Amino acid sequence: MSVLSPAQASAPERFQRVDTMSVFRNSSAGEHTAAEIAAATADGRTVVYTDSPARRIGFTKLRNGELTPDGVLAVPGEPTSVDIVGRLALVAVNTSESFTAPSGVLLVVDLDGRAVVASHDLGGQPDSIDIAKDGRYAAIAIENERDEDVDDGEIPQAPAGFLTIVDLKGAPTGWTLRRVGLTGIAEVAPTDPEPEYVSINGRNQVAVTLQENNHIAIVDLRSGAVVNHFSAGSATVHRVDTADDGRIDPSQTITAAREPDAVAWLDDRTLGTADEGDYRGGSRTWTVFDAASGQVVHSSGNELDQVAIRQGQYPDGRSDNKGVEPEGLAVATFGHHRYAFVGMERANLVAVYDVDDPRRPRFVQALPTGVGPEGLLPIPATGTLVVSAEEDAAKDGVRSSLSSYRLTRTPPAVSLQRNQGAPSIVSDGIGFGALSGLSGIPGDHRNVVAVTDSAYTPTRVLTVDTLSAPARVRAELTVTKDGEPVGYDGEGIAARRGGGYWLAAEGDGKKLPNLLVELSPSGAVVREVPLPAAVAATATGNGFEGVTTTGRGGNEQVWLAVQREWKADAPGLTTLARFTPATGEWAFAAYPLDAAPAGGWVGLSEITALDDRTLLVLERDNQRGDAAVTKKVYRVDIANLTPTPAGTPKPVTTKRLARDLLPALGADGAAIHDKVEGLAVVGYGPIRRLVGAVDNDGVDDAPGESVFLRLGWIR
């Protein structure tokens, strides 16, 4: 039975993630790859993507949202963009040897034979490509990008960029190319236009963004004439966060040039831009322009930042540098509705808008993606959206990926109960993330508390409504010491039966000690309890990772989990520590870890009491995606366990598998997250609910998705 509110039999359509494919699966795990721009065949069954660092394009099969690697094709340079007409893929390739002598080619690839059937010299360094709906023309932005190491990247820098029009008439070898100059139209560096992105409407007009020039040009493809151009202008945006200080504080105002990257037509007379900024601007917005007048008819203002904040995916580390950084934009009609998709490069989100009325976009949802969403590919033929995420850092467990999303009418409450929906946790405006510990609240069948770790400061205790769909952060409590906000590396939280909390603060094995911190119901520090000196001296950088309590009153005992082996521990054995508040005594037991995967480690990330005789211990490896193996909850019987004082041999606990979390973590089509760090038992009585949370690392070198897991009943 579901504990969520009943859902209506018929729900509005929304997009739901189906699958994520690591791009290295088309080659090998040891290669550096980056899927950037993708295109699909008319039937939506084949996706072609650019892989610039590997100097190739990749092929992927797409069936019912499932992505399957299907080979690669080497190209003579760095592919920058791709589009498809019929059974031909047009690939723009950068072959430049220097910034001052840019060059590139347009390759025509036969998709049936997987072979290059034509090549055309572009006379410069290409960026974006788009093909007209009637298949008569292609437009290519020839950027001839600036060298950011020369004069601090100041423009102008010769040579100037331009637009290339390709007449797709006859055999590919006979196609003709026409150059359209764009000098003299922008207010910023008019001698050095730097075209970034192109989009063609149904009237065969191409919109071209000149990003560094903060300008937009409209070109008629038949004649090659510039029929209109205008400045993208500036935007003043209120209630944004402009300080990289570990606090999500959207209380400032910015005024910045838009400097749009991607452009897309909402209809034949209205176009939208993703206002990333690359030179001196970046307004954190996406904007809708009347193409004839150049007037702004809609600006998103602070909405994209606010969406990321509410979804627990705001990148505070980018607050002083363009925030969520909207970069990608795509528009398509699915069924009876037209949608705009806005990619937020630094928040790893795609915002979905209903643009049935292009002058009044309506926010629908935000989709979590891989790291650095670059390419947005709507495929109306199959009701699918494919997102290319370019960031690839194998040492950090981050791999470039393609993710697929499909329209569904499954009620969100049903999807969330199955761990298939996203977002799975939101707030009403409270900034959150880095949820590193959870605790049930004695006597409360609805709420849990969570604690934030060192990604944010000061430390906060958050109240999360687990019966809301999605789970909802309802309240926050700032931890204070001597009346002032204080920051710990909070890795565990336990709500006490008599009120107040115990906080597990992780040390660094050097200057910062591992501390058990007693908090009052108002969040004030009552005392800090250090480990015995002899034990503390053996600590490493992997310290306290969870805290829970058994008993009550004078019989209360506090249990803490140590993540990995310390200096005095035998390999494969970490520690469960027990503190008795009434006596101040510490005692310890050894916990046997699962075997570590190749190149990784396994440790504890949470501990929670099921009852006064049983602990639940969350054990995980440090691997993401395809490499993840161990994300498990074990039962530990403490009824007959007698922990021993420091300096004496520790008894070894026995454990019994209670849950394998990999199915729940993979149910929503995402790459498996590494840091499952919160676990809580909710309710009272013999049968209760088990919930979990993923620590998103504050969106720092991580996918950044805040995930709340519903793990079913437990007794």
Domain ranges of the chain: 425-714
User: Which segments within 398-488 are labelled E, that is strand?
Assistant: 401-408, 425-427, 435-440, 447-452, 460-465, 471-478, 480-481, 484-485
* Residue-wise pLDDT tens digits, 134-176: 999 999 999 999 999 999 899 999 999 999 999 999 999 999 9
* Residue-wise pLDDT tens digits, 66-106: 999 999 999 999 999 999 999 999 999 999 999 999 999 99
What HEC string does 322-350 produce? CCCCEEEEEEEEECCEEEEEEEECCCCEE
- The span from the CA of 241 to the CA of 264, in Å, is 28
Reply yes or no on whether the pLDDT at 6 is more than 50.
no
Reply yes or no on whether the pLDDT at 251 is more than 90.
yes
Looking at residue 449, its pLDDT comes to: 98
Q: Terminus-to-terminus CA distance in the chain, angstroms?
A: 15
**Dihedral angle over CA of 360, 364, 370, 372, nearest 10:** 20
- Give the C-alpha distances (Å, rounded to integers) separating 14 from 40, 62, 383, 385, 428: 21, 20, 11, 11, 21
Reply yes or no on whether the pLDDT at 293 is more than 50.
yes
State both tokens at 643. Answer: 């922990």
Q: How confident is the model over 300-329, as a mean pLDDT?
A: 97
**Residues pairing with 620 in the sheet:** 603, 631
- The span from the CA of 165 to the CA of 328, in Å, is 22
- Give the C-alpha distances (Å, rounded to integers) separating 89 from 52, 207, 213: 16, 21, 30
Q: How confident is the model over 419-447, as a mean pLDDT?
A: 96
Is the Cβ–Cβ distance between 196 and 206 less than 8 Å? no
Is the Cβ–Cβ distance between 527 and 518 less than 8 Å? yes
Is the Cβ–Cβ distance between 107 and 90 less than 8 Å? yes
**Residues pairing with 50 in the sheet:** 57
State both tokens at 473. Answer: 């952060």
* Residue-wise pLDDT tens digits, 636-659: 999 999 999 999 999 999 999 999
Looking at residue 1, its pLDDT comes to: 33
DSSP for 607-669, written as a single string: EEEEETTEEEEEEEES--GGG---EEEEEEE-TT---B-TTSPPPBP--EEEEE-HHHHHTTS
**Residues pairing with 437 in the sheet:** 451
Q: How confident is the model over 461-467, as a mean pLDDT?
A: 98
Looking at residue 11, its pLDDT comes to: 65
- The span from the CA of 94 to the CA of 143, in Å, is 10
State the DSSP H helix or E strand holding residue 144, giving kind and residue range, or none if neither: none
From the list 284, 278, 265, 361, the residue with the least C-alpha distance to 326 is 284
Q: What is the band of 5 on the pLDDT scale with cuts at 50, 70, 90?
A: very low
- The span from the CA of 472 to the CA of 426, in Å, is 5
* Residue-wise pLDDT tens digits, 169-223: 999 999 999 999 999 999 999 999 999 999 999 999 999 999 999 999 999 999 9
User: Which segments within 345-458 are labelled E, that is strand?
Assistant: 349-354, 362-368, 373-379, 384-389, 401-408, 425-427, 435-440, 447-452
* Residue-wise pLDDT tens digits, 270-279: 999 999 999 9
Task: For the domain covering 425-714, report its CATH number.
Answer: 2.115.10
Q: What is the band of 686 on the pLDDT scale with cuts at 50, 70, 90?
A: confident
482 conformational bin, left if phi > 0, alpha if psi -120 to 50, beta if neither: left
* Residue-wise pLDDT tens digits, 581-633: 999 999 999 999 999 998 899 999 999 999 999 999 999 999 999 899 999 99
Looking at residue 685, its pLDDT comes to: 85
Looking at residue 7, its pLDDT comes to: 37
State both tokens at 710. Answer: 């519903």
- The span from the CA of 155 to the CA of 215, in Å, is 14
Least confident of 146-155, 363-372, 558-567, 573-582: 146-155
From the list 560, 564, 561, 559, the residue with the least C-alpha distance to 541 is 564
pTM metric for this prediction: 0.95
What HEC string does 188-242 produce? CCCCCCCEEEEEECCCCEEEEEECCCCEEEEEECCCCCEEEEEECCEEEEEEECC
- Give the C-alpha distances (Å, rounded to integers) separating 337 from 33, 64, 118, 354, 416: 35, 21, 38, 7, 24
* Residue-wise pLDDT tens digits, 365-408: 999 999 999 999 999 999 999 999 999 999 888 999 999 999 99
Interior CA angle at 377 toward 74 and 197, to 5°? 80
Looking at residue 396, its pLDDT comes to: 87
From the list 537, 431, 426, 209, the residue with the least C-alpha distance to 218 is 209
Q: Tell the residue number behind the tokens 């806005």, with chain if given.
A: 342
